[in-house]
Amino acid sequence: MKTPLLIEQHFHGAYGVDFNKAGVNEIIELASKLREIGIGGFFPTLVTDSIENTKRQIGIIKEASKLCRGILGIHLEGIFINPKKKGIHNPEHFLPLTVENYQKIEDDFIKIVTLAPELDGGLIEYLHSKGVKIQAGHCIGGFNSTIDGATHTFNAMSPVTHRGASTALSALIEDSVFAEIIADGIHVSDEALKLFFKAKPIDKVILVSDALPITYSDIKETTFADSKIFYDGNRATSADGTIAGSTKLLPEIIKILAKKGLFKPEYIENIYNYHNLDFVGEIEWDSEFNIIQIK
């Protein structure tokens, strides 16, 4: 079977590289390693940080993109999210969802913003006018089709409920909305995965890793989002047990899904359609979803 190269739109780093800290050369070297395992493009994802550090890293990632076509834009996850669903993010850096606050870090290389729609103070309309993808995440409210996507569905959002609206319900029932899912075997149960894939139209599923910088490295303890993170060989958590992100990348996640009978090749193409991207290469897979060849 052949598919386009993988595109990762929610990804904090790997091989020891942290997008909130990395320099230009580190990011370019990471892109080369990712290409070797079938990931042809990615959106470096910035976790909540200070305005100063966020602006610095936006500049560094943008500079790296001039030398590496696989860097497709920045995913800003944080700053504009709900403290009630903060996950691993540091609430000291959160800001109200206003145009004025966004303009403190605004850059045309920001392509995706994860935010809490229920806290909107005019930012959503502004981002729409700039052509930025808006994703509901780390939030508690329901949303409608004015939102483009849902960030890591089920995680850090109000759950499915049979009374009233919730973020997870909106992610499942809004057919026009693209929805991320972390299918690493840690973040979402098999039962919830089955519900997700039954509810979402095939062309609106976005597979993501939400991988941490410790992914595919020898690091067992690190600082991420201002918190100490511990990796036990299976999952990465903060000291209080909060899951900090994944330690697997998309090729491994696809293999996990395939073994469960939940993978469809169309899922790989969806990210291209979501961002109107041209195909950047091709992967040939065997029947067990091991990668045979990358072109």
pTM over the 0.95 mark: yes
The predicted structure's pLDDT at residue 55: 98
What does the alpha-carbon distance between residue 58 and residue 28 come to, in Å, rounded to a whole number?
14
**Could you count the other beta carbons within 10 Å of the beta carbon of residue 293?**
11
State which amino acid sits at residue 65: S
Per-residue pLDDT of the chain (295 residues; tens, 9 = 90+): 999 999 999 999 999 999 999 999 999 999 999 999 999 999 999 999 999 999 999 999 999 999 999 999 999 998 999 999 999 999 999 999 999 999 999 999 999 999 999 999 999 999 999 999 999 999 999 999 899 999 999 999 999 999 999 999 999 999 999 999 999 999 999 999 999 999 999 999 999 999 999 999 999 999 999 999 999 988 999 999 999 999 999 999 999 999 999 999 999 999 999 999 999 899 999 999 999 999 8
- Cα–chain center distance at 59: 20
Residues in the chain: 295
To the nearest 10°, report the CA torsion of 112, 282, 287, 270. 30
Domains of the chain are 2-294 (3.20.20.140)
- Residue 208 — φ and ψ, nearest 5°? -135, 160
Based on the residue annotation, tell me whether 218 is a catalytic residue of this protein: no
Question: What does DSSP say about strands 149-150 and 178-182: parallel, antiparallel, or unpaired?
Answer: parallel
Q: Which residues make beta-bridge pairs with 291?
A: 285
SS3 assignment, position 30: helix
Q: No. of H helices and E strands in the chain?
A: 8, 17
| Cα distances (Å, whole numbers) of residue 131 to 110, 134, 136, 205, 248 | 10, 9, 16, 21, 30
What does the alpha-carbon distance between residue 168 and residue 155 come to, in Å, rounded to a whole number?
9
What does the alpha-carbon distance between residue 95 and residue 228 come to, in Å, rounded to a whole number?
23
To the nearest 10°, report the CA torsion of 65, 67, 70, 71. -10
CB 194 within 8 A of CB 262: yes
The predicted structure's pLDDT at residue 280: 85
- Residue 32 — φ and ψ, nearest 5°? -65, -40
Range 85-105 burial, b when 16+ CB lie within 10 A, else e: bbbbbeeebbbebbeebbeeb
- Interhelix angle 24-36/51-65, nearest 10 degrees: 60
Given the residues 18, 210, 218, 278, select the one marked as catalytic.
210
